Amino acid sequence: KLIDDIYKNYEKKKNHQLEIKINGVAENNESVNQFLTKEYERLKYHQKLGFIYAYHDRDYAGKFFLIDGQQRLTTLFLILLFLYKKLDKTGAFRSLYFSSKIPKVNYKVREGSNDFLQLLIESELKGENYENSEKFYKSECSKDVTISHLITNYNYIKKQISNIRDKAAFLEYIEDFVEVNYFDTHLSEQGEQLYIYMNSRGEQLSFQEIVRAELMQKITNQQKKIELGNEWEKWQNFFWVNRGENENADIGFE
C-alpha cells in the first residue's frame, strides 16, 4: 500500500503540465520556470507518510531510537537501495545513506535481524546474492519473522520498481517529495500521550509497545539493551506463531 500510494502521486506529478504567466504573458526565463514548477510540484504532489516517533539516548549522541516508523523507514531505505543499484550509483548511496561505513538504518536491539539487513544491503551494493554468502543461515533466518518480512518486501519492491521506466525521475520523487513528520517523544508524559493519540495509523498503541520503549530508555548498558531486545523478540515471535485467529501477537504477548 505504501509503494502504491507513492507511485500514484508520482504518476500524477509526472503527467501534469504547468504554464507560468505574469499579467497574462508567459514567463520566458527558464531558471524561474524550473524553480516555480518544482515548488508548485512539491506543494501539490508531495507524499506525506505521517508521524515518526523516536527518542534520544544520552549515551548515543546523534542517534534516534525508533518507537514507531520502523516499517516505513525500512521500506524507503530498501526502495532507495534498489534504485541506486539499478542506476549504477552505489557509491552515491554509500555516501548519502551510510555513516562510518554502517547503514543509517539498523536494528541494533534485534541482532539477528540487523545482521541480515547488513548482509542484504552489502550484497545488493556489490551485485551479489546474499543466499550465496557464508553469513546467510537459511534455517535460522526462516524462523525470524522480521527477516522473512524483509526478504518478502524487498522482492516485492524489486518487482514493482523494475516496471518503472524512468527510475531516475522516481528516485528524485522519493528523495524530494516524500516526507514524514518527526516527533521526539523524550518519553515525557506529553510525548507518550501524543504518541498514543496521534499515531499515524490512527490506532492506539498496544500496551506492550509502550512498556518496551520505557524499559529501553531506563537501561544504560548497551549489551543489556541487546539482551532485552533479543528476549522481547523471542516472545513476540512465539506469540506470533501461536496467535491462532488473532490478527497479531499483541493479545498473547500482553
Cβ atoms of 91 and 131 closer than 8 Å: no
Rg (the chain; Cα; Å): 21
d(CA 250, CA 253): 5
Can you say how many angstroms the Cα of residue 223 is from the centroid of all Cα atoms in its chain? 25
Q: Given this model, what pLDDT does residue 203 score?
A: 53
Question: Helical H runs in the chain?
Answer: 2-15, 30-45, 70-86, 90-97, 111-126, 138-141, 145-162, 167-177, 189-197, 207-218, 222-241, 250-253
Tell me, what's the pLDDT at 77?
Answer: 95
Phi and psi based region of residue 202 (left: phi greater than 0; alpha: psi -120 to 50; beta: remaining): left
User: Residues near 10 by Cβ (< 8 Å), separated by ≥ 6?
Assistant: 45, 47, 169, 170, 173, 177
pLDDT value for 175: 94
Q: In a 3-state reduction of DSSP, which class is residue 180?
A: strand
pLDDT for 188: 43
Position 208, amino acid: Q
Q: What pLDDT does 200 receive?
A: 44
Residue numbers of the chain with a pLDDT score lower than 70 = 109, 186-206
Instruction: Please report the pLDDT score of residue 40 as a whole number.
Output: 87
Count the alpha carbons within 13 Å of 126 in the hemisphere toward its beta carbon.
Answer: 11
Q: What is the pLDDT of residue 109?
A: 66
